[in-house]
Structure 1
Amino acid sequence: MKKVSVLSLAILSAFAMSCSSDDSPTTSGDILGKWYFKEYKVQGQTIPYDDHEECGKDYVQFNADGSGANVDVWNCELDVAPFTYTKSGNNLTITSDGVTDIVPIAELSSTTLKIKTIFDFDDDGDDETVITVLTKN
């Protein structure tokens, strides 16, 4: 549950970081739909997302009307954190619980969404650049 809380914090109230101009992956894909958590990329390491349950997977939902939700499956029940969003270029502007943050998109294709954030991923007191990878079925 702690990683989900950290991830929710990363997505919904992240410290935004600009994407470099040499990023080559596309960010012009369609963000609508359910995006399931797959892995994190931190300091050159790929860390599988391991908080899925047999009864369901955690996901982020983006709706056409600008609403969305971060959904955590916990004890086979859905813990839903609603938000609103807009997508402009390579950025998502997300508002949740009255807090608005800009979250850079590192990649967006028909099957992959990568969001780049900075936060203390490993609880060591130092911030790390974290790429959260989500997939759409």
Structure 2
Amino acid sequence: MKKITILFLSVLTLGLSVSSCSNDDDNGGSASIEGKWELSEEGAIVGGKEVLVDAENGSCSNDTYEFTNDGKFKLTEYYSNDGKCEPEAYNGTWTKNGNTLTIKFTGETQGETYQTELSGNKIKLKETFTEEGQTYTYVYVYVKK
């Protein structure tokens, strides 16, 4: 009976250790954001709930962020100019500490801070600010390209 109990505990321990090794471990904010990301959804937190809509930019591409391992980023925004899609690029630096991402555009003195949720090929950026006594939170969802 003692051997069966030890065998059962060994199998149980092995099963728990295997099941805890999944690829959604990056939800804790320690996964890397390095790479190219395309905007897929955007919205806000309204009445305590996240309200998101598909990011559509007409016939133009959606905006992209590209984060490199040397702490630099490139934001490319697309807009329509007389029916022709035009890209406009901005550069700067980024740092990530836990779930907090700070980006600072070249030439700016202050950075923008986002709370991040990173899982697999998606990153959600939440930007909270106060204007005229009201607090707003915008939400942007990017997918890895």
TM superposition score normalised by structure 2: 0.63
Deviation per CA, 1:44-103: give whole Å up to 9, x if none.
242314342424221111112211122111121211111111222222232212223252
Please state which structure has a larger fraction of its residues in strand: 2
State the Cα distance separating 1:106 from its structure 2 match: 3.1
State the Cα distance separating 1:31 from its structure 2 match: 0.2
Question: Does 2:66 match 1:58?
Answer: no
Look at both structures and tell me which one has the larger radius of gyration over its CA atoms.
2
**Could you list the runs of 5+ residues in structure 1 that have no partner in the other structure?**
1-24
- Separation (CA, whole Å) in 1 of partners of 2:31 and 2:44: 21
- Assess if the C-alpha contact under 8 Å between 2:74 and 2:91 holds in 1: yes
- Assess if the C-alpha contact under 8 Å between 2:28 and 2:99 holds in 1: no
For the residue of structure 2 that corresponds to 1:127, the secondary structure is strand
Report what 1:85 is aligned to.
94
TM superposition score normalised by structure 1: 0.66
Moved more, 45-54 or 34-43: 45-54
Deviation per CA, 1:16-66: give whole Å up to 9, x if none.
xxxxxxxxx431222011222222242124231434242422111111221
- Assess if the C-alpha contact under 8 Å between 2:37 and 2:144 holds in 1: yes
Please state which structure has a larger fraction of its residues in helix: 2
**Could you list the runs of 5+ residues in structure 2 that have no partner in the other structure?**
1-26
Aligned length: 111
Higher relative contact order (Cα pairs below 8 Å, separated by 6+ residues): 1
- Assess if the C-alpha contact under 8 Å between 2:64 and 2:76 holds in 1: yes
Moved more, 69-78 or 102-111: 102-111
- Separation (CA, whole Å) in 2 of partners of 1:131 and 1:26: 18
Question: Does 2:125 match 1:115?
Answer: yes
State the superposition RMSD in angstroms. Answer: 2.5
